[in-house]
Amino acid sequence: MSNVNTVTFTIVLVLFVIVTVVGFLAARWRRPEVMAHLNEWGLAGRGFGTFITWFLLGGDLYTAYTFIAVPALVFGSGSIGFFAVSYTILAYPIAFIFLPRLWSVCRVHGYVTPGDFIRGRYGSRGLALAMAFTGILALMPYIALQLVGIQAVLTVMGVGASSANTYVRDVPLFVAFLVLAIFTYISGLRAPAAIAFIKDTLIYVFVIVAIFYIPTRLGGWGHIFGAAQTHFASINPATKKPIGTFIPTAKSTGSTQFDFAALALGSAMALFVYPHIITGALAAKRRRIITRNMSLLPAYAVLLGLIALFGYMAVADPVTAANVKKAGNAQLAVPYLFQHMFPSWFTGIAFAGIIIGALVPAAIMAIAAANLFTRNIFKEFFKPDASPALETRMSQWASLVVKFGALVFAIELPHTFSINLQLLGGVWILQIFPMLISGLYTRWFHRWALLTGWLAGMIYGTLAAYNVKNATTSHWAASSDIVFGHTIYIGITAIIINTVLAVVLTPILRAARVPEGIDETLPHQYTADPEQAPAPAPAGIGVSRDR
């Protein structure tokens, strides 16, 4: 515990305690008559209005990926990291098209997970299992990434026993995570929704202050961009190539404009298919809250653009750049930048914001993964007669298991590895895009054709990502690969293979009269806007309206 700044540490600790108390009290917020139902524990009564949905989805979307991983990529490679900005812009119009339809059909039928929808639409347990498996698989490394973000902050704070044993060194991380696990277990989705308010306030404050204050310390934006341009044009002695790019190039390989667009499009398509984002959206009270939020959420995207620029500030600040280089971990760029630039009390606020900003999405992800497991694996294959109370208990325990699985993930694997696995999570989750999105519009696709396409996409995507190597790593080095002479995001190649297979196989299977499965949804249900939540209705519906 040497080199710990007492002021910074105290502020982080106080804010963490406040958040813990709020997390436990959240169970009483809009308290239902029965908590032991997945609509309550897992979707907080499906009664959130525009305001809370905005905070909840914002809490979902902007995670340690945003605060730690994106600036780290910008710090290390330059302009290609800004694909994340482009992707958050793209995500909203794409979601604007399909998310309201998904909300409506899930509302009418009381579906809790996207797997429930697949099950009802295609009458296929196998397809729903594929969906649940992919969702849980893709969320694990994403939760692990949140932990890596917390770890990065704790490392720079100097918190942690100076021991060679990783488990001893990460005791503070364990404590933070244990608290998170317990209040998620007790309060369900209400906990992250309540904490999201605190998180966003902290983050808005520190980002806005940082964006105006740090450039004055570094000689203005002109100097920051100039330093970045010079830095990324310089030649890396190991590879004999420039360190990075300042503007995506028009060439066919490397950090190209084409790959920039492919990464942005792939990530944007993946975003609103992630189970935890769907969980956040399904908790909304009315259909129009979804569309309205798609126009309100880009306010967060502006923040992401500014946060990505922290990567260039870290390049332009010699002390930060030297610290990061010494530690050999680009993910420390933002924490080191803040520590060097800000007085220690403000560093405390910023660090607390990043830590809480990682805990909120981690909680929602664990809930989403737990719901998938309970509804589409446990209930479907092991206990079809499970009562709502048993389902809820199962989900509570599953959320703990998922979280501790992710914890082991984060501690055992090298950090760069987990960042790449998060990108691999995107490759995986994209493979459910065809079945989920096409299902919202048409029953044309045959269920086994979709399943085959999914399998092919998963296998191709995993193998292709595994085989990417660079100068320092032999596997999982990046999420883009060269196909037909062009660098392109593996997720996009895999989803093309997936869709083409599904299109080709559908007429063949139909001609062979393979059973189609029963569709329990009706066309008008995709545009329905029922006011009443599916049974049991939460206490006080129609009485306590937030507006």
Partner 1 sequence: MTPPNATPSAPRAAAHPVTAAAIGLLVAAAICGTLIVPIYARITPKIGDFPFFYFYLLAYMPFVAIALWLASLLQRRLAPPADVGDTSVSGGDAEATR
Q: Binding of partner 1 at residue 282 (CB under 8 A)?
A: no
Taking the C-alpha atoms of residue 461 and residue 430, their distance in angstroms, rounded to an integer, is 10
Binding mask 100-119 for partner 1 (x = CB under 8 A): ----x---x-----------
Choices 39-47, 290-298, 377-385, 398-406; region in contact with partner 1 by CB under 8 A: 290-298
Choices 64-72, 179-187, 280-288, 494-502; region in contact with partner 1 by CB under 8 A: 280-288
Taking the C-alpha atoms of residue 415 and residue 427, their distance in angstroms, rounded to an integer, is 19
DSSP collapsed to 3 states, 196-264:
HHHHHHHHHHHHHHHHHHHHHHCCHHHHHHHHHHHHHHCEECCCCEECCECCCECCCCCCEHHHHHHHH
CA angle 136, 286, 105 (to 5 degrees): 55
Q: Binding of partner 1 at residue 405 (CB under 8 A)?
A: no
Choices 182-190, 214-222, 356-364, 496-504; region in contact with partner 1 by CB under 8 A: 214-222
Q: Contact with partner 1 (CB under 8 A): which of 166, 441, 466, 544?
A: 441
Q: Binding of partner 1 at residue 74 (CB under 8 A)?
A: no
Q: Contact with partner 1 (CB under 8 A): which of 182, 443, 537, 541?
A: 443
Q: Which is nearer to partner 1, 21 or 247 (CB)?
A: 247
Applying the rule CB under 8 A, the residues between 32 and 61 that interact with partner 1 are: none
CA angle 215, 263, 420 (to 5 degrees): 85
Task: Name the DSSP class of 355.
Answer: H
Choices 460-468, 474-482, 494-502, 526-534; region in contact with partner 1 by CB under 8 A: 526-534
Dihedral, CA of residue 465, residue 468, residue 473 and residue 474, to nearest 10: 100
Choices 16-24, 172-180, 281-289, 461-469; region in contact with partner 1 by CB under 8 A: 281-289
Binding mask 457-496 for partner 1 (x = CB under 8 A): ----------------------------------------
Task: Name the DSSP class of 284.
Answer: B
Q: Contact with partner 1 (CB under 8 A): which of 165, 531, 535, 542?
A: 531
Phi, psi at 237, each rounded to 5°:
-60, -30
Asked whether 263 and 489 are in contact (CB, 8 A), the reply is yes
Binding mask 300-339 for partner 1 (x = CB under 8 A): -xx--xx--x------------------------------
Q: Contact with partner 1 (CB under 8 A): which of 35, 327, 528, 539?
A: 528
Q: Which is nearer to partner 1, 88 or 395 (CB)?
A: 88
**Comparing C-alpha atoms, which of 428, 459, 457 is closest to residue 134?**
428
Asked whether 13 and 348 are in contact (CB, 8 A), the reply is no
Q: Which is nearer to partner 1, 253 or 473 (CB)?
A: 253
Q: Contact with partner 1 (CB under 8 A): which of 8, 63, 66, 79?
A: 79
CA angle 253, 257, 258 (to 5 degrees): 70
Q: How many residues of this chain bind partner 1 (CB under 8 A)?
A: 65
Taking the C-alpha atoms of residue 186 and residue 171, their distance in angstroms, rounded to an integer, is 23
CA angle 34, 193, 130 (to 5 degrees): 80
- Enumerate residues 6+ apart whose C-beta is below 8 A from 134: 428, 429, 431, 432, 454, 458
DSSP-derived pairing of the beta strands 480-483 and 241-242? unpaired
Q: Binding of partner 1 at residue 234 (CB under 8 A)?
A: no
Taking the C-alpha atoms of residue 478 and residue 369, their distance in angstroms, rounded to an integer, is 25
Q: Contact with partner 1 (CB under 8 A): which of 167, 213, 345, 444?
A: 444
**Residue numbers at the binding site for partner 1 (CB under 8 A):** 79, 82, 85-86, 88-90, 92-94, 96-97, 104, 108, 220-222, 224-225, 229, 246-248, 250, 257-258, 260-261, 264-265, 286-288, 291-292, 294-296, 298-299, 301-302, 305-306, 309, 440-444, 446, 510, 515-516, 518-519, 523-531
